[in-house]
Amino acid sequence: MPLSKSSPQTQQPTTILIAESDENSRATLKNILLKNDFLVLEAKNGKEALKLFIQQSPSLVIMDAFLPEMDGYATTEAMRRHEKITVLPIFIITEKDNRQSAERAYQSGATDFIAKPINWIWLMRRIEYALKASHIEDRLRISQSQLAYAQRLARLGYWEWDAHSDRIIASESAFELFDVPNQEALTLNQFFRNIIPKDLPLVLGAIEDTTPEHPTLQISFRVFNHNNQLTYIDCLGEVTFDAQGKLSKITGSVQDISRLHRAEDLIDYQSTHDKLTDLANRFYFNQHLTAFTKQIDPNKTSATIILDIDRFKKVNDHLGQENGDALLRTVANRLKAVTRESDFIARLGSDEFAILIKNAESTQELNLSLSRIFYDVSKVIMMQDQEIFITFSMGVSILGQDGNSASELIAHANIARNEAKRAGGNQFMFYQTSMNAESKAQVLLENDLRKALSQHEIEVFFQPQVDAQTLIPTGAEALVRWRHPVHGMILPYKFIPIAESNGLIIEIGQYVLEQAIKQTEKWHEMGFSDLVIGVNLSSRQFSNPTLSEDIGTLLLDSTLDAKYLDLEITESLAMSRADKNIRILNNLKKLGVSISIDDFGTGYSSLAYLHSFPIDTIKIDRSFILNMETQEGQAIVKTILAMAKSLKLRVVAEGIEKQFHVDFFQKNRCQIFQGFKFGKPMPADAFTNYLMGFKS
């Protein structure tokens, strides 16, 4: 049966090189090979054969031992020297029964010899078996090469120790991991010589602890290599024992787990540190403080400090997210620079930082440290050629005096920080026991606020807005109030910050919107059909992704036309993320509502952005009205009015209390007044009575 002319490994034609000086013999051999579907290359001498071997890479070589210029033996040796990976079958044709020629053929590197005269059928069988064996060897070499590559990639090695001869056999990668040269007659001690002294006894002990019943070896250790670096190695092994129960051999694998070890270190670090500032995080600070409280030196003074940036939200809104983050990193770096190496600093979240001052020699030294920290971090910060002035509120609790546990010390430092902030900020305060009462009252107030909506304690009041020329009501601003069952009426400045911080502002804001729309709908039914209702949106409410949908649902459930609902946002909120906020406002405008900028003049808006905002009205902040006694104050208000006119915006003047205010704004063509002169915020029933006074 003819042999396949394609190699099962490569699917390429199988080529055989013939090197024979006798033309008749060469022609006969060529014809037989062609009939068996082989491709044939021909050479007349050894040099030609070597050249074709190098250029054409045949699958098998058949050559005569006695070739001119370079005999078959020398040619075979040259071919073997040229080979790098594969080992091709080479047959040398020798004289009949010439044992010396056969031995010389094998010595030169030939795969087999063929004695003359040639048995052609037997030759074809030998070629077939030689090619199959070559293909198998090639696959084996490829597998070994792939295994070696995979081991190098995985940093994995194999090793074996014969205990009787104390000799090591190992793969190249294993020698690399142990950082020892690949050499024969290597002993176990020589193989283990770079294991660090601290780990070597553990490795040898693990080997000694194996028994015939428990022959598995598993241990991790470190190797100190010639680059002065540690390699972390994981070793798995199987121990063999002889008939007397003595250890005879260990067969094992070793793997470099340094990357895993570094990854674990990185994960541990990231779990205990703040990503933005690289300071310790809240968890790590609590952990560190807890450990430190168990080793306090009674003869020294240690303190826990909690600090944050005053009015950070407003600063961050002005700077933007990226610059706000840069500001926090600057604060973190200043804290690192101004504290001692033994102290411990953390970022607890947002703009809140914590410091553990350890073992000050005296109260005086502690005070000096606190003053240095406070004044150094408060220095002006340069950002994009702009001077940023920030202040801090700091609270301090003394270890031992104000608490012995981490939770107590942090809680008391927080209370002192809040007191400093309530006192106006830009200062630090030590915790005092009397502060606890106020703190508890704040906690109780927050708990009561959580129940206020369900218990119908939250009410909506309405403050009149009147036409600036006729002084007839044209609308109202909806304002929230809390009628506490014990403390009576609580004004927004006391409970709105609490609602903002705990998220209740979303529910409260939705309730105010719902009540304001329902009540305005009733007033329209009573005949006050042009009345506009203004509702403030908090920052949390404005950022709610379902805001447009929620307002749209309320309007669909009502007969009130959307144009009579005026949504108010503060100027600082509008400018905090101007580009994104423009998109939100455009979505709201699609509902048909009007948009007002509240507290105008207190933010940082530019004419370019004002022109881009889809707004209808600006409300001049009350602070400008109060300053109208001066020429400068009047000039500022006139500028705002002129700007609004050029942008075709309505103007609401808030805080109108005096006739002088009325006269000034009427003269300068303001459209709407709001202030105590025309009515304080009042419940819905009282506002209804107020409106009835204008019904003819």
Q: In the predicted model, what is the mean pLDDT of residues 479-494?
A: 91
Q: β-strand 344-349 against 352-360: which pairing, if any? A: antiparallel
Architecture of domain 450-692: Alpha-Beta Barrel (3.20)
Confidence at residue 445, expressed as pLDDT on a 0 to 100 scale: 80
More confident residue, 519 or 113: 519
Confidence at residue 153, expressed as pLDDT on a 0 to 100 scale: 53
Q: β-strand 15-19 against 60-64: which pairing, if any? A: parallel
User: Are the C-beta atoms of residues 460 and 480 closer than 8 Å to each other?
Assistant: yes
Domain spans of the chain, in order of start: 15-149, 155-262, 275-433, 450-692
Among residues 464, 462, 466, 463, which one has the least CA distance to residue 665? 466
Q: In the predicted model, what is the mean pLDDT of residues 208-220?
A: 89
What's the half-sphere exposure (Cβ side, CA atoms, 13 Å) at 279? 28
CATH T-level assignment (fold) for domain 155-262: Beta-Lactamase (3.30.450)
pLDDT band at 9, cuts 50/70/90?
Answer: very low
Confidence at residue 15, expressed as pLDDT on a 0 to 100 scale: 92
pLDDT band at 152, cuts 50/70/90?
Answer: low
pLDDT digits (tens, 9 = 90+) for 356-370: 999 999 888 888 888
Task: Say if residue 104's pLDDT is above 80.
Answer: yes
What is the CATH superfamily name and number for domain 275-433? Reverse transcriptase/Diguanylate cyclase domain (3.30.70.270)
Confidence at residue 88, expressed as pLDDT on a 0 to 100 scale: 86
User: Are the C-beta atoms of residues 388 and 327 closer than 8 Å to each other?
Assistant: yes
pLDDT digits (tens, 9 = 90+) for 643-678: 888 889 999 999 999 999 999 999 988 999 999 999
pLDDT band at 313, cuts 50/70/90?
Answer: confident
- CB neighbour burial string for 576-606, b if at least 16 within 10 angstroms, e if fewer: bebeebeebbeebbebebbbbbbbbbbbebe
Find the range with the poorest average confidence among 256-260, 507-511, 549-553: 256-260
Q: In the predicted model, what is the mean pLDDT of residues 132-161?
A: 70
Confidence at residue 1, expressed as pLDDT on a 0 to 100 scale: 39
pTM, to two decimals: 0.46
Task: Say if residue 591's pLDDT is above 70.
Answer: yes
Tell me the backbone φ, ψ of residue 209, rounded to 5 degrees.
Answer: -80, -10
Q: In the predicted model, what is the mean pLDDT of residues 287-298?
A: 91
Task: Say if residue 583's pLDDT is above 80.
Answer: yes
CATH dotted code for 15-149: 3.40.50.2300
pLDDT band at 606, cuts 50/70/90?
Answer: low
